[in-house]
Structure 1
Amino acid sequence: MRRNILKAAGCILFAALWACNGLNIVPGPDGFLVVDVAVETPFGVRTRSTGLDNYVFLLIKQGGDTLYNSTVGKITGSPLSLTPGNYTIEVFNEPFTAPAYDKPYFYGSQTAEVVGGESCEVLLVCKQENAGVRVVFSEAFSQKYTTYSMNILGTGGALNYDSTTESRWGYFFPGQINLTLTADGSSLEPIERQIQARYMYNFLVEESGGTQDNVEPVFTLSVDTVRTWVSSTWNNTEGTVRGLTKETAYTIAEARTLEGGLNDIWVCGYIVGCYSSGGVFFFGGNESATNLALADSESYIEKPLSYPVELPLGTIRDALNVVDNPGNLLKKVWIKGKTNASYFGLPGLKSPKEYSW
C-alpha cells in the first residue's frame, strides 16, 4: 500500500514538472547548416578565389542576434549545429564606406531554414555591389596640357584621377557621380553621370575636337554575368564608344569599319599570317617579323578578310612575330594601338602599346 502511494506521488511530481516546463523537457534534435561560399569573377565564373577564406562570415538568427562573426575559411566545410529556425547568412570581403581605389566590394546574403535532425546546405555567391571607374587621358590631351586631373564626386566622398592613376580602378557607391575636369588650372562645368553596381566604367578624356569626337556614340556593352563594362568619352551622356578596354575590344570585322587615327583602341582576332613589304598576304606564313595578319576565324585565307597589325622594334614584336614564334599562328590575341586607314591597302592597327592572350 505504501509503495503504491509513493509511486502515485512520483507520477504526480513528474506530471507537475512536465506541466511547468512544457515539451522542452525533452529537447528536440538540432539541425545542421553547411555553407559554401563562392565569388563570381569578372568573367562570370563562380570560384573559391584567392583571399575568399578571409571574407567576413556572419550568421544571424531570426530576431537579429548574431550567432557567428567569423571568416569563411573557419566555417567552410564544417557543419554548424543549430536549433531549428530561420537564419540569415551574410558574407563580404571588407567594409566599404567611402569611394576608394582598388576596393571592389563583394557581398552576398541568403536566408536558410534549419530543420531538426536534417542538414541544410547553402551555396552563397558574392557579387560586386559597388561600381568601378577608371579615367584614361588620351595621348593628344596629355601632350596639350601640362597639368590635368579629373575629380569624381560620389556618395560618401571623391577621388582625384590624373596621369598616375590611369591603370587604377576607383570604386563608388551606385548612384549619381559628378565629373569635373581641370586642365592647366581651368575647370570645366561638372558632368553628371549615373553608375550602377557591378558596372565597370572607362571614361576617356580626349582633346576638344580630337578624333574621338568624330566617333558616333553607340550604346554597346560587353556583358558577362558579373560585370558590365562601359567605355565612354567622359562628357558623353548619351552613349558609349567601344574598344577602350580589352573587355570591349573590336572584332576584326568591326575594326575594319573604323576611321584612321583613333588612339588606344583594342582589337582582337586570330593570328593567321603576315604580309610582305609589298603587301602580299601570306596565310599561315612566317615570312615577316614586322607585322601580323589577324582575322575573325582561323580559316579565313583571303586578304580582304584580314587585318594588318604593325610590329615595331621592341618587346611586342619580340613576343608576337611569327618568324621567331611560329607557335603563335592561329592563336587568338588582343592588341591595343592606333587605327590606320590604309596599311598594306587595308584598314589596320599601328603603334601597338599592349597585348594580351
Structure 2
Amino acid sequence: MTPVNVLVTGGAGFIGSALCRQLVANPQNRVVNLDKLTYAGNVASLGTIEHAPNYRFVRGDICDEHAVLALMQAENINRVMHLAAETHVDRSIEGPAAFIEANIVGTFRLLQAALKHWQGLPEEEARNFRFHHISTDEVFGDLPFDGSLFHETTPYAPSSPYSASKASADHLVRAWHHTFGLPVVLSNCSNNYGPFHFPEKLIPLVILNALDEKPLPIYGTGSNVRDWLYVDDHARALMRVASAGTLGESYNIGGHSERSNLVVVETICDILDRRQPRQSGSYRDLKTFVSDRPGHDRRYAIDASRIERELGWRPQETFETGIEKTVSWYLENSWWWGPIRAGTYAGERLGRVAGPR
C-alpha cells in the first residue's frame, strides 16, 4: 500500500484538529498540519498527538505559494485536505476583506502549489494524488421551512460574504480539475459541533455563557434551522471522501439532525439543569432574544444519501448523544476554553451573539 502523506491545511482549527487526531491514529498516515494560527487556531487542541512520530506541525500561510510548494515537495505529499478558512458569518459581515484573502486568494495559491507539485510527481505517484476541498452547505443559500434538502446539484446562492467566499473557492477547485486535470474531490458539510469548538460559535457560546450566568442571546425568534453534525462523524466522512471519492465530484455531509436555534439552546439548558443546576431557576431563564443578523439564512438541510450510498458513511452520533458528549466535554475541560474566555477575545463579542457560523 502506498504511504499516505497528508497535508492538512487549517489543522489547528475545530474541524481540522479533529481530522488530524483521527488521521494520526492510523500509523500508515503521515500528517503534516499547516496552520497560520489566527484567532481560532489553537495548538492545544492537538496536545494528544503533538509528539506522535507520524505528525508534524508547521506554522504557515496558504497564501505563501512558494513555501507551500516547498513543503509539499519536502514531505512528498500525495493528499491535500484543505480546511484553512475564515468561517464566521458575523465576522465576514464586519470585515469581509479577510475572507476574500483567506478563502479565495488562499485557495487559489494552494491550488497553484498543488498543481505544480502534482505535475512534477512520477506517473504512479501522480495517479495516487488527491486534493480534497472541504466546504460548507452555506454555499447553497437557504431553504424554506418545508421538506426540501440541499443536494450536490443544488444551484449555488450564497447569502453572506463568508458563504460567497467559500462558493468562489469551490468554483476554483472545480476549474483546476476541469482545466488542468488536478485530481480533486469536494465536500460540503452542515453545521459541526463537538469538543474544541471555538467559543464564538452557538453551542460552545451557550454552554459557557450559561455556566458564567450570562445572557444567552438568540437571533430573532430563534426559528432559524440548521442540520447539526458531530465533528468526529464529519472527520470520518472526510477520510472516506479523500480516499474513495470519485474524482471531480462533490459529496454532501450532514447529520440528519435539523434543529432550530431555539431548540438547540433549550436542549443545552436542559442538560445543564440536570448536570450542574443553578442555585435557583433554570438556565432557560437566561435566554435573551436580540435583533436578527443581516441576511440571516432561514434553514439548511443536507441530503447525505450520496456519501451513504457510494462510500458507506453514516453518522454514528444522533444530536441527542452528540450534544450530551459536547456539554460533558466543556464541563470537564476548562483548561482548554478558560484561557480563550479570559484572553483578548473574551468580553463583548463572546457574550453578544448566539448564532451558528
Judge same fold: TM > 0.5, yes or no.
no
TM-score range, shorter chain: under 0.3
Which of 1 and 2 has greater Rg?
1
Higher helix share: 2
Q: TM-score, normalised by structure 1?
A: 0.22
So what's the TM-score if we normalise by structure 2?
0.22
* Structure showing greater relative contact order (alpha-carbon pairs closer than 8 Å, 6 or more residues apart): 2
